[in-house]
Every structure is written in structure tokens, then in C-alpha cells.
Structure 1
Amino acid sequence: MALRTLSAENAAALDKELMSTGAYSIDQLMELAGLSVSQAVYSVQPPNKGKRVLVACGPGNNGGDGLVAARHLFHYGYEPTVYYPKQSKNELYQRLTQQLKDLNVPFTDDFPSAIASTDHVVDAIFGFSFSGEVREPFPKVIEALRDSKVPVLAVDAPSSWNIETGPPDDGPGKGFMPDALISLTAPKPLVKWFKGKHYVGGRFLSNVVAEKYGIDVPPYQGIDQIVEVPVKESQL
């Protein structure tokens, strides 16, 4: 099934519409996104392959998705650790952080040590709204993700990639190719350059909204929140 891609501009417009006429709250959208991410982790890194999962979170919505995913992973029986160096003062993010602390999920400021002692990494640093320069402390983090042999699942976009034009030609993200990618709601144009395992998640759109934004809803099965879609089938 060939899936059309969703530009960064249309992805932002879709989020805005979902939170206005669509009657969704940002809490709901983040919970659904994080749930999809957690299921993608379960698919690529089942607990019997290693329960230690390092979730690297950025300061925005992508990081919030990571916080939600970490909570679900804990309840699945994983041992998540969260790297969240630029914690938002926004109430939503503070609540998500507190929920993890109440579960005794550890937070770390030492990314090199954390990545050296984990079985899998979730890259929830930058999403579809990223543009411009990668700022501290994330350049070294992205370099570590690129150079590590630990498998990485990227959330919506490999961090530092341009949503429209894919991997950067220079900087810390040059050569960064995660093992897996979960596209939230719909693949973004950058998927044309991605070579790993690819999932689509976000099982909540109405047919009317999907048609308006040119989104092909993949064939979700049973209670699954994700569908694996080979990248060659999501490059329209």
C-alpha cells in the first residue's frame, strides 16, 4: 500500500485543526502518539531481546511523546531511563515528568554512560517542526546516536533531519540513520531517504480529516496502534 507523505506545513495545520474543530486536546494527541511509539518499541525490541530502553527527549512535543512512551514501556515490563536535559516548564510536560517520577523511572544527565548501558534508544528529540541549527546539548547526543551500535527508533523524524529534504549534508546528524522510524499520523517527505524499518502510528483520524489532508490511513489490525509500512511503499 503506497502512502502519501504529509509536509511539515500540513502536519502543523492538521494538529491545529485537531485541537480546534476536531475537539482533541494536546494531552490526548500526545497520549495517542506516545502509545504508538511504545508499541513500535515493543515490535522492534521485544522484552526478551533486552528491557533497558533509553528515551532521549527534546524540549517540545516530540519530547512529550517520548515521556508518554516511557510510561507505557514501564507498564509493559521494560526498564526505561529518560534523558531530558531541557525540561519544559509547561504544566503538561511537568505532569508527564511527575508521572514517571512516581513510577521511580530514573532520569539521567549523563547520556554517554546511559547509551553505553542500554539495549535500545528512542530518539524523541526533534520532530516535524524542527528547523535550523542543532543546539546544545544535543549535537553530542545526536553524534552518539549516530556512532553507537545500540539500535535506535526515531519518533516522526531522525533528529537533525530536515522534514522535506532528509538527512543533513554536514553537522552532527550527517550519516545518522536510525534502525527504525515511526511516522506519526502519516509519513513525512524525509522518509524517501530512510532505509530502516518503518512504522506508521496514530489510529484516530476521521475519514473526513484524512481526505482533507491527503492522508492514507494504513490497515491497522485488531487493537494495534501501529502498522509496519516498508519505506518503498511510503514515498509518494
Structure 2
Amino acid sequence: MKVVTSQQMREIDRKAIVKNNLSGLALMENAGLRIFQSLKNIYPDLRLKKIIIFSGSGNNGGDGFVVARHLYDYGVKAKVFLLAPFNKIKGEAGENLNIIDKIGVELIEVETVKLEEIQEAIQNSDLIIDAILGTGLQGRVTDLKAKIIDLINVAGKEVAAIDVPSGLNTDTGKIEGPCIKATHTITLALPKIGLLLFPGASYAGKVTVVNIGIPSYLLKNKKLKTNMVTKEIVKSLLPSRAAYTHKGSFGKVLILAGSVGMTGAAYLASEAAMRSGTGIVILGIPRSFNPIMEVKLTEVMTLPLAETEKQSLGEDAEETILKLLTKPPRYRVHRHSP
């Protein structure tokens, strides 16, 4: 899966709108719907929760307005706190704000109430949705937005962030000021780099990526050079194995490791070789550590080798090792009887 910067995501959005005749309003609707559906999956008791949404004036806030409408239709009486005056919210966000206003969603302009009232609303809520700031943040959050973020963080409530936690640097994962500490982040179309790099990753909580209807060719563009390794990618790279095979069909690995205080390295390297799919793993170890490794390792074959007085591999082991590298002889691998 591709991972993007804020600028790359804006360019993807632009191409989806300009080249594919998708409207910004349609993308916002898709985003809000997918976020709402994700919330239902995350919180099976969503209908029973007291939810408040903090929305800014941009597209992130607009996504929050769409979520509010779907929650309202679902039977949840969510409150929406506006971090900008109603009449200052324009564009697609403004259109969705007008819709939820007309259907009766409770709207509160934060500039018209005391911080103590906002704090009380936060304390009385079960879930907070962060739609304050999106990927376009530059620098640190200040003024009233910063105070709201601090109130949310100290409350210890469940927080679901839309796209990225407000205050997070989308491109670097840096925290340059107040930043929402989310329980979940529902990010749109593709993961953002800042969600995966620390310290940002520790503020994002569990990240869910949702499809908002952007054409797949834009999301898989080879010009996007950063990728996130997923289970699906790893699985696709693993070669299939025929049914009629044995351990000798899948390669052999010789590991030379181990000394006083360093037997763990030998153990971990051997287990990693087995986990990678190697058919036969042989661990060459100073002979005095062989009894330890035979207890620790079940599938790996151990090879006790000559050692120094300090119990590291000795020069006398060289000939045995070189012969093994040329053609691994089975008779050189030993097991001690208990």
C-alpha cells in the first residue's frame, strides 16, 4: 500500500476531481459515510454513545459535518462544536454545515461559550470525533484550537480522529505543539507518512484506511515511492510450494554464532532462519554451548565446533566450516543423548 505526504494527497484529490469528474462534494460525502461506517464497526454500541464532534472550517471539518448527519440519521444526537463562526465556513464544508443545521443537529460555536462549558460537555461524552484540522496544518496549533485540544487530551475519553489527529505534522510525524491523542484514526484513501513515524504513530492510535471513491490507478501510481509493507504484500511475494517436497527442497542455511553472554543471538538468528522458510538450518556453535542450544532449538540442527579458552569459535573450526560450506555433510551434525 502506498503511503503519501500531504502534498501528494492533495494532488491525488485534484486529479480525481479534474480528470475523473468527481466533485469535491462527492468525495466529502464518501469520506463522511466511510468514517461513519468505520465507527459502527469499531463501536458496536455506537447508538448508545454520547458523541461530540469538534469541527474546523476546512474539508476536515466538512467530513465531520457529514459524519454528524449520518449519526443523526442513525439515531445518535451528536453535538457539533464549531471552531469557526458559522458564517465563515464556506465551500463544500459550508454546504454540509447548512444541511445538518436544517435537519436539526445541535451546533455550538466555541467562541460563544465558556471553556468550562466545553470541558463539561467533553466530560459528559462517551466519544469525541476530531475534525478540527486535516493534512494541511503548517506549524503548531495555537489559540483556541490549542486549548480545545488540551481539554480533549486531559479528559481521557475515546477519541476518533478524521484523517490525521489535529496538530500532527502529516509528513514527518513530529508533534510541534498541542496534538490530539487519538484512540483511533480513520484516514482517507491512503495512509499518511506522519501516522506511521514516531512520535506521530503514538498519537494516531489504531489506524483504519477507508476507500472514499478515488480511482485506484491514482492510488497505485508508481511515482508514489513510499510503500507500507502489509501482510497481503508479503504473502504475494512468497513462492508457492509444491506438495511433493521435503526439507532439502527449500535451501540450507549455516549460521556461525555464539560466545559467552551471546547465546541469545545464535538462538534468535536460527529461529529467524527457520521462520523465513529455510528447509535446513545448521547452527555452528562453540562446543561448550551445544547442550544449551540443543535444549533451546528443536528444528535447528546444531554443530559443535572447536572453541578458544574464552569459549568463542576457535581457529581449529575453520577446516570443518569450509568443508561444510562446500558440501554440507550430514555426519558432522551431532545430537547429544540425554
TM-score range, shorter chain: 0.7 to 0.9
Match of 2:195 in 1: 191
Distance 1:205 1:91, change over 3 A: closer
Describe the superposition over 1:179-224 as per-residue Cα deviations: whole angstroms up to 9, x where unpaired: 00011000000121324222111242323222226499xxxxxxxx
Distance 1:191 1:94, change over 3 A: closer
Question: How large is the Cα RMSD of the aligned pairs?
Answer: 2.4
In the alignment, the residues of structure 1 paired with residue 62 and residue 68 of structure 2 have an alpha-carbon distance, to the nearest angstrom, of 10
Higher helix share: 2
- Indicate the structure whose relative CO is greater, using CA pairs within 8 Å and at least 6 residues apart: 1
Match of 1:201 in 2: 210
In the alignment, the residues of structure 2 paired with residue 58 and residue 92 of structure 1 have an alpha-carbon distance, to the nearest angstrom, of 13
- Size of the aligned set, in residue pairs, is 214
CA contact (8 A) 1:51 1:77 kept: no
Distance 1:113 1:94, change over 3 A: same
SS at match of 1:79: coil
1:178 paired to 2:182:
yes
The Cα shift of 1:100 comes to 1.3
CA contact (8 A) 2:27 2:213 kept: no
Distance 1:172 1:206, change over 3 A: closer
1:130 paired to 2:137:
yes
- Extract unaligned runs of 5+ from structure 1: 217-228
- Extract unaligned runs of 5+ from structure 2: 111-116, 235-338
TM-score by length of structure 2 reads: 0.58
Indicate the percent of aligned positions where both proteins have the same amino acid: 26
Q: How does 1:54-69 map to 2 (within 5 A)?
A: 54-69=52-67
Distance 1:6 1:148, change over 3 A: same
Query: 1:102 corresponds to which letter in structure 2?
Result: K
The Cα shift of 1:161 comes to 0.5
Query: 2:213 corresponds to which letter in structure 1?
Result: F
1:11 paired to 2:18:
no
In the alignment, the residues of structure 1 paired with residue 141 and residue 58 of structure 2 have an alpha-carbon distance, to the nearest angstrom, of 14
In the alignment, the residues of structure 1 paired with residue 66 and residue 102 of structure 2 have an alpha-carbon distance, to the nearest angstrom, of 13
Match of 1:75 in 2: 73
SS at match of 1:74: helix
Query: 1:106 corresponds to which letter in structure 2?
Result: E
Describe the superposition over 1:17-39 as per-residue Cα deviations: whole angstroms up to 9, x where unpaired: 11101211110011011111112
In the alignment, the residues of structure 2 paired with residue 166 and residue 207 of structure 1 have an alpha-carbon distance, to the nearest angstrom, of 26
In the alignment, the residues of structure 1 paired with residue 38 and residue 50 of structure 2 have an alpha-carbon distance, to the nearest angstrom, of 15
| 68-77 vs 127-136, greater mean Cα deviation | 127-136
Match of 2:43 in 1: 45
Match of 2:303 in 1: none
In the alignment, the residues of structure 2 paired with residue 151 and residue 167 of structure 1 have an alpha-carbon distance, to the nearest angstrom, of 22
Query: 1:13 corresponds to which letter in structure 2?
Result: E
In the alignment, the residues of structure 2 paired with residue 152 and residue 186 of structure 1 have an alpha-carbon distance, to the nearest angstrom, of 20
In the alignment, the residues of structure 2 paired with residue 89 and residue 205 of structure 1 have an alpha-carbon distance, to the nearest angstrom, of 25
Q: How does 1:85-104 map to 2 (within 5 A)?
A: 85-86=83-84, 87=86, 88-104=88-104
